[in-house]
Structure formats: C-alpha cells, structure tokens
Amino acid sequence: MSAGAALEFRVAIREAIVEEMERDESVVFFGEDIAAEQGGVFAVTPGIQERFGTERVFDTPISELAITGAAFGAAVTGLRPIIEIMFGDFMGLAMDSLINQSAKYWYLSREQRSVPLVVRSAVGGGGRFGAIHSQTHATWFQGVPGLKIAFPSSPAEAKGLLKAAIRDDNPVIFLEHKRLYSVKAQAPAPGEVLPLGQARVARPGRDLTIVSAGKGVPDALEAAGQLARDDRIEAEVIDLRTLRPLDIDAVLASVARTNRMLAVEEGPATGGWAAGLLGIVAEHGLHDLDDVWLLSTDELPIPYSPTLEDAFIPGAAAIASAVRERAGVVVGR
C-alpha cells in the first residue's frame, strides 16, 4: 500500500506479518484460530496460511502455555515465531514460558542464544467483553528485564512497530487495542520500520504534556483539540509507542517545555505504568514543575454494562475534563 493511502489497523497488522514472512523464511506464525477462514476473532489474519503454507502458519490447541513454550523452543533453535494469545487476559496462563524462560535465556546462556519471538494479543475495554476479556496486561510484564512491550496507537504505528518487533532479537509483547482494529488512517511509507523505545510527539503544544499509549493517544489528541478550541489550552501529546523500554528522554524534553504533565492509562493507578512514569519524572529532578498527575481507571474490574464501561474508561471527554479541573477552567464561561 502506498504512503498516504488509508490503511485499516487490522490490515496494517496483517501486512506487517506478511511482509516480514516474505523477507525472512525463519519467521513462523501460530496461535488459536489464526489460520481459520475468518482470521481469528477480530478478522486480522485471514489468508496468511494459504499464502505461506501449513508448516509456517498453523492453528494450535487451546493452551496458552503450550503456545508460548513452543515459541520459546522455536526461537532458541533458529526460528522467529510470531504467536497470538487471543485475549491479553489469558497471558497469565503463559507467564512461566515468558518471564522465566524467554526473558532470561540470553542472560542464562551467557549471551549464546537470543529469543526472538513476538506475542500478539488483543487488549482493552470498550467492546462489552466483560471483566476477563478486557484487561490490558502490559503492567504484568513491566518489571521483567529482557522483555519489550509495544503498544501502537494507529495503523501506521502498528505496522512499523510490529515489523520492528519481529526483527528484534528479544521477546516482545505486542498489544493491539480492540477499539483500534477498525480505525483507518494514513499508511506508513513503504517498508518503514519504527524503532522500539522511541516515542513521538503526536501533537505539539506549550501549556501541558499529555502522555499515553495505544487507544489513549487518539483519545488524548481528541481532548487536546477540544481544549485548544474551547479553552485556548495548547496540549502537547506524547505517544510512548513502547511501554518497555520507555522513552524517558522524550517525555522529559516535553515536560521541560510545558512544565505540566498528565499521564493517561486505561488501567488502575496501582502498579500502572503511568504512576511509574510520574515517579521517573520526579526522580530526574524536575522540582520546579507546576503540576504532574495521572488519569486512570478505578481500582475495579472492568464492568460489562455499556453505561458503566463507558464511564469507567478515561476517554477524550474525561481527559479534557481532568485538564480543565486542574487548570481551574470554568466550563461554559
């Protein structure tokens, strides 16, 4: 697809997998229902098995631990597996293979064997999937050295980051927010690969830095547009792109310009990446900041009720409201 054309998020994921499998014969792809006619629950991967055959693309039994164990074995013997754990909530079943084997094998083998594998999962609320199919599991893995975590916010980011993840010699957790699958936006330049660990300024501003990842980025951009239009508040939006490693330099550079920071996370504050980021900003000695705070979900499981779920997730309206409240803006004045 040419740069500038509209690209759907789910198609961006598919294109990245196909292009990397064409580029490198060691790339294989397997998981639950990924080779089915519809291409999985979210119709992301149809036609890939027909293109590359059953030895490189295949469905697995319903066992997340078996999938990640097979991926670890494949990776240390020369392949570059991409696997899909259908919902991120099920990553708890795969913990041992990922955090005690894949993440540590480079270290334990005295740097003799890398583990180049990618774990794709659908994450996030807003789809009425209920409490055990709507979590974002990134923070379960953030304290594990040896893992990387990517969380794209747009089709172009999804394609470029997934290509980088597949080429990386470390295990990469790749998060795909459900409410982004049908989003269409500008395609990346042909062959573009986005480096892991490098954030971007999604919108420049002077009054406030809003930091987020995944679906939080388009929500922050929408909120920034409302604030600029209605309140003359110019917010800078930072898209982290990856949650491990965090691009601290990009965040600090933005905060140095604006002197204020709001971190937005779809997840509880306790143990979340947003709280950790605020701590890092404080650690780096920015004592003259006017304000830093976070917006997250309540300390509760994600509700199934559409009304409750909508109120639970910090979307664009909640972000704009939080900024106005913090800035002392009187709405409607």
Contact 43, 9 (CB under 8 A): no
Contacts 24+ apart (CB under 8 A), 222-229: 222/316, 223/316, 223/317, 223/319, 223/320, 223/323, 226/316, 226/320, 227/320, 227/323, 227/324
Contact 216, 266 (CB under 8 A): yes
State residue 300 phi and psi, 5-degree precision: -145, 155
Burial of 301 (0-12, 13-18, 19+ CB in 10 A): middle
Tell how strand 208-212 and strand 172-177 pair up: unpaired
Give the CA diameter of the chain: 65
Q: Which two tokens stand for residue 314?
A: 């910090």
Q: Which residue of the set 133, 137, 177, 284 is catalytic?
A: 133
Contact 75, 102 (CB under 8 A): yes
State residue 88 phi and psi, 5-degree precision: -60, -25
| Residue 133: active-site member | yes
Burial of 228 (0-12, 13-18, 19+ CB in 10 A): middle
Contact 136, 267 (CB under 8 A): yes
Enumerate the active-site residues.
133
